[in-house]
C-alpha cells in the first residue's frame, strides 16, 4: 500500500480545501455533499455528538452562520492507498480567540471523496 | 416505479407495443426529477402539465390503433436556450427572464414531438452559453451526478447532468466551442456535436451564429443515434442549416475504418491519465497510428475571436443597458468582445477557411481521429485553476482546449465516456469528416461494445 | 502587437460602442482584451510570406 501517493494526496488536499471554504462561508449544500450520505457517518462536535447524515444535516441548517471564519495551521493530510485518507488540522478563530482541532477520515466511495467520520474539539 | 424500461430505445418499443403507458413513463421521470433535481440542479423549468397531457394523448392515440413515432413516450429535456412555448427563453440569464414567452417550440422540439418524445422541461446552462463549467450565478450550478461536489461542465451542464442523473434518457444541448463535449466528458455521458449546418437552430437563442451547433446527449449509443436521426430534417428559417439528412439507423461496425490518434497539440496540456484514456480507447479499436492536425492552436485562436466578437455584438444592447445583470463570470468577456478591432475578426475568418481546407486533406488518409475531450476530469465546483503536471493554469479558458479547434471548422464529433482509475469519467472525442456522423457513432458503438465506454447513470 | 494597451484601448473604444464600463469590471475586461490580443497576434501574418484568401464567409441568398 502506498502512503502519500502524490496524485492521491493532491486530490485530497484539494477537496480538503474545498471543505474548508464551504465551512467558513457556511455553504451548507457543499458541506452536506462532502459528508458520506449514510446512517453510519458520524461527527463529534464541540458541543454535540451527531450520528448519521440526518443528524448532521439538522445541525448544519440550525447552526448560526456568524463567527465561522477561522485560520487553519499544521494541517496534516495522509493518504493510504488510493481510496482512504486522514486529515487533521489545528484552527484558530481570531474573533473569539478560540483554538481547536479538527480530525476527518476521508474515503473514496464510487469515485467521490467523502468524510466518513469527523471530530472537532477545542483546546483551552 | 420499478420494472419500467429505462433507455430511449426500450421505452419507445414498449410504449409503441402497448406494454407500458406513456403516462407511467412520464410520471416516473417527473418523480425522479422531483426527488433529485434539488441536489443536481439540472432542470430550470419542469413542464409537468404539458408532459402529462402529451403522454395521455399518446396513450389515447395508441388505444385508437394509430402508429406512434420512433421515440414514442421517450421523456427528454432541452437546454434552456431552446424556445419552449409559453416560457421566456432564459438562455441561462437573468435578463432574458423579462422576455415575452415563446410563441412556439423550437423546430427541433417540434420534430421530437412528432416522433412521440415528451418534453419535460428546460435545462440549466452557463449564461448565454459563454461557459465551460456549468456554474450559473442566477440559477445555481448544475452539479455532476457522479460527484455532487464537482462541476458538470458547460455550457450544456443541465443537459449532461439530466442524463447522467438518470432523470431522462436523452437531452438536447448546444456546442459552439465545446459545450456538448465538455459536459459529456465531465459527467460521463455520450454526446454528439453534428456537422455545422446539420441540425436546424430555428427558434433557439443564439450565442455565436458562425459556430453554434445543436446536438443530443444520451446514456448509450443506440439512443444517441435514435434521437439524432429524429432531429435531422429541413432548415426551417435557419439560413446556416443545409437540411441535409443522412440517417444513421443502428450504427454499424468499424471494419475497414482508418482511425488515428491526434498527436502534437492534442497530447499536450492534458493530465497523464486523460491521455492514457485516449490510448486505452485506441488500443480497444486496434489503433496505434498518430496523425497531426495542423495549426490547431491557431484554429483555437480563430474560434476564440469569432466567438468573442460575434456574441458580444449580439448582446450589445443588453451590455449597454443592463451590464450589471450579467453573470460576473461572463460579463467581462462580453464587454471585451464588444471592443475588438474588425481586422482581428476578419483575419480569424480568413484563417478559418484556410485551416478547414488543410484539415480536410487529412481525411483523404484517415476516416476517424481520436482526441481527449477535456484536459482533466470534473474539477471541484468553484475551482479556479487546473494542475497540469507541475504547472497550475487558469481553469476556464483551458477546459475547451481540445474541443475548440475542432468545432472551429464544424467537423462532426461524438464523445464516448471512459472511466479513470479514481472513478471519475473522462470523455474521448471521436472526430470525422463533414457529414460523416455515422462514422463517429460507429466508433462510439464499438467502444461501448468493447466495454471501454459506458455511461453510468444515477446520483452518486 | 506588443504595443497593445488594453486600458487605453478600452478608454477609446468603449464610448464608441456606447458602453459604460464600471471601474470595478475594468481589470477583468482588460485581462480579456489582452487574451484577445494574444489570439490575434497568433493569426497575424500567417502563413508567413503569404496572404490568406477568402476574407468573407460565403453568403448564399
* B381 and chain A in contact, CB less than 8 A: yes
Is the pTM for the entire model greater than 0.80?
yes
For residue B242, the chain C residue with the least C-alpha distance is: C60
Mean pLDDT of all residues in B404-421: 97
Neighbours of C, requiring at least 3 CB pairs below 8 Å, are B
Domain ranges for chain B: 8-302+332-449
pLDDT tens per residue, range A44-67: 999 999 999 999 999 998 888 888
* B149 and chain A in contact, CB less than 8 A: yes
Q: Which residues form the domain of C18?
A: 6-42
pLDDT tens per residue, range B343-369: 999 999 999 999 999 999 999 999 999
If you classify domain A6-123 with CATH, what class do you get? alpha beta
CB-nearest partner of B147 from A21, A82, A111: A111
Chains A and B touch (3+ CB pairs under 8 A): yes
pLDDT tens per residue, range B74-108: 999 999 999 999 999 999 999 999 999 999 999 99
CA distance B426 to chain A (A): 12
Q: Do A33 and B146 touch (CB under 8 A)?
A: no
* B235 and chain C in contact, CB less than 8 A: no
Name the CATH superfamily housing domain B8-302+332-449: Amidase signature (AS) domain (3.90.1300.10)
Banded model confidence at residue B232, pLDDT cuts 50, 70, 90: very high
CB-nearest partner of B149 from A33, A108, A110: A33
For residue B140, the chain A residue with the least C-alpha distance is: A29
Report the percent of chain A where pLDDT is more than 90: 87
CB-nearest partner of B332 from C17, C18, C32: C32
What's the pLDDT at B183?
98
* B198 and chain C in contact, CB less than 8 A: no
* C24 and chain B in contact, CB less than 8 A: no
Domain count, chain C: 1
Domain ranges for chain A: 6-123
Quote ipTM for the complex.
0.94
For residue B386, the chain A residue with the least C-alpha distance is: A14
Q: Do B422 and A111 touch (CB under 8 A)?
A: yes
CA distance A108 to chain B (A): 8
Which three-class secondary structure string do you get for chain B?
CCCCCCCHHHHHHHHHCCCCCHHHHHHHHHHHHHHHHHHHCCEEEECHHHHHHHHHHHHHHHHCCCCCCCCCCCEEEEECCECCECCCCCCCCCHHHHCCCECCCCHHHHHHHHCCCEEEEEECCCHHHCCCCCCCCCCCCCEECCEEEEECCCCCHHHHHHHHCCCCCEEEEEECCCCCHHHHHHHCCEEEECCCCCCCCCCECCCCCCCCEEEEEECCHHHHHHHHHHHCCCCCCCCCCCCCCCCCCCCCCCCCCCEEEECHHHHCCCCHHHHHHHHHHHHHCCCCCEECCCCHHHHHHHHHHHHHHHHHHHCHHHHHHHHHHCCHHHHHHHHHHCCCCHHHHHHHHHHHHHHHHHHHHHCCCCCEEEEECCCCCCCECCCCEEEECCEEEEHHHHHCCCCHHHHCCCCCEEEEEEECCCCCEEEEEEEECCCCHHHHHHHHHHHHHCCCCCCCCCCC
Contacts of B239 in chain C (CB under 8 A): 60
CA distance B405 to chain A (A): 29
Query: Could you list the active site residues of B?
Result: 79, 155, 179
CB-nearest partner of B298 from C13, C42, C57: C42
Q: Do A30 and B460 touch (CB under 8 A)?
A: no
pLDDT tens per residue, range B33-78: 999 999 999 999 999 999 999 999 999 999 999 999 999 999 999 9
* B423 and chain A in contact, CB less than 8 A: yes
- Would you give per-residue pLDDT tens digits along chain C (61 residues)? 568 999 999 999 999 999 999 999 999 999 999 999 999 999 998 887 777 777 777 877 7
Amino acid at each position: 500500500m502506498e502512503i502519500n501517493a502524490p496524485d492521491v494526496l493532491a486530490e485530497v488536499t484539494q477537496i480538503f480545501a474545498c471543505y474548508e471554504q464551504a465551512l467558513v462561508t457556511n455553504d451548507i449544500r457543499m458541506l452536506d455533499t462532502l459528508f458520506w450520505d449514510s446512517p453510519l457517518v458520524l461527527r463529534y462536535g464541540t458541543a454535540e455528538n451527531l450520528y448519521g447524515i440526518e443528524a448532521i444535516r439538522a445541525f448544519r441548517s440550525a447552526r448560526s452562520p456568524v463567527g465561522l471564519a477561522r485560520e487553519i495551521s499544521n494541517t496534516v493530510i495522509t493518504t493510504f492507498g488510493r481510496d482512504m485518507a486522514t486529515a487533521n488540522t489545528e484552527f484558530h478563530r481570531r474573533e473569539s480567540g478560540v483554538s481547536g482541532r479538527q480530525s476527518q477520515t476521508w474515503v473514496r466511495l464510487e469515485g467521490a471523496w467523502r468524510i466518513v467520520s469527523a471530530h472537532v474539539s477545542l483546546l483551552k | 416505479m420499478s420494472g419500467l424500461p429505462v433507455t430511449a430505445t426500450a421505452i419507445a418499443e414498449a410504449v409503441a407495443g402497448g406494454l407500458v403507458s406513456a403516462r407511467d413513463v412520464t410520471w416516473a421521470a417527473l418523480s425522479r426529477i422531483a426527488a433529485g433535481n434539488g441536489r443536481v440542479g439540472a432542470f430550470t423549468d419542469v413542464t409537468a402539465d404539458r408532459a402529462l397531457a402529451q403522454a395521455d394523448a399518446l396513450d389515447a392515440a395508441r388505444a385508437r390503433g394509430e402508429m406512434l413515432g420512433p421515440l414514442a413516450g421517450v421523456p427528454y429535456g432541452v437546454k434552456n436556450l431552446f424556445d419552449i412555448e409559453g416560457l421566456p427563453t432564459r438562455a441561462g440569464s437573468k435578463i432574458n427572464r423579462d422576455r415575452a414567452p415563446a410563441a412556439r417550440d423550437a423546430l427541433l422540439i417540434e420534430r421530437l414531438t412528432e416522433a412521440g418524445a415528451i418534453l419535460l422541461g428546460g435545462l440549466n446552462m452557463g449564461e448565454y452559453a459563454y461557459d465551460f463549467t456549468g456554474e450559473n450565478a442566477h440559477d445555481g450550478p448544475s452539479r455532476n451526478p457522479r460527484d455532487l461536489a464537482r462541476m458538470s461542465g458547460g455550457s450544456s451542464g443541465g443537459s449532461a447532468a439530466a442524463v447522467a442523473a438518470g432523470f431522462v434518457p436523452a437531452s438536447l444541448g448546444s456546442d459552439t466551442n465545446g459545450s456538448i463535449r465538455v459536459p459529456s466528458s465531465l459527467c460521463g455521458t455520450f454526446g454528439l456535436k453534428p456537422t455545422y449546418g446539420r441540425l436546424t437552430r430555428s427558434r433557439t437563442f443564439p450565442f455565436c451564429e458562425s459556430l453554434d451547433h445543436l446536438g443530443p446527449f444520451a446514456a448509450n449509443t443506440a439512443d444517441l443515434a435514435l434521437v439524432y436521426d429524429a432531429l435531422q430534417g429541413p432548415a426551417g428559417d435557419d439560413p446556416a442549416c443545409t437540411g441535409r439528412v443522412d440517417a444513421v439507423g443502428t450504427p454499424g461496425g468499424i471494419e475497414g475504418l482508418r482511425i488515428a490518434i491526434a498527436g502534437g497539440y492534442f497530447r499536450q496540456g492534458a493530465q497523464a491519465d486523460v491521455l492514457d484514456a485516449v490510448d486505452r480507447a485506441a488500443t480497444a479499436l486496434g489503433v496505434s497510428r498518430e496523425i497531426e492536425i495542423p495549426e490547431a492552436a491557431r484554429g483555437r485562436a480563430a474560434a476564440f475571436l469569432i466567438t468573442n466578437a460575434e456574441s458580444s455584438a449580439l448582446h450589445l444592447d443588453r451590455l449597454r443597458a443592463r451590464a450589471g445583470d450579467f453573470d460576473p463570470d461572463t460579463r467581462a468577456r462580453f464587454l471585451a468582445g464588444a471592443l475588438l478591432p474588425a481586422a482581428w475578426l476578419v483575419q480569424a475568418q480568413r484563417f478559418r477557411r484556410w485551416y478547414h481546407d488543410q484539415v480536410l486533406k487529412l481525411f483523404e488518409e484517415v476516416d476517424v481521429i481520436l482526441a481527449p475531450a477535456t484536459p482533466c476530469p470534473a474539477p471541484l465546483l468553484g475551482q479556479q485553476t487546473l494542475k497540469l503536471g507541475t504547472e497550475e493554469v487558469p481553469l476556464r479558458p483551458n477546459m475547451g482546449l481540445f474541443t475548440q479547434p475542432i468545432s472551429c471548422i464544424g467537423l462532426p464529433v461524438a464523445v464516448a465516456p471512459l472511466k479513470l482509475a479514481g472513478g471519475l469519467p473522462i470523455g474521448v472525442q471521436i472526430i470525422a469528416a463533414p457529414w460523416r456522423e455515422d462514422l463517429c457513432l460507429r466508433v462510439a458503438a464499438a467502444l461501448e461494445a468493447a466495454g471501454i465506454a459506458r455511461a453510468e447513470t444515477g446520483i452518486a | 502587437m506588443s504595443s497593445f494597451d488594453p486600458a487605453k484601448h478600452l478608454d477609446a473604444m468603449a464610448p464608441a460602442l456606447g458602453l459604460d464600463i464600471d471601474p470595478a469590471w475594468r481589470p477583468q475586461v482588460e485581462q480579456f482584451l489582452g487574451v484577445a490580443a494574444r489570439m490575434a497576434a497568433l493569426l497575424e501574418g500567417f502563413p508567413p510570406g503569404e496572404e490568406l484568401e477568402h476574407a468573407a464567409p460565403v453568403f448564399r441568398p
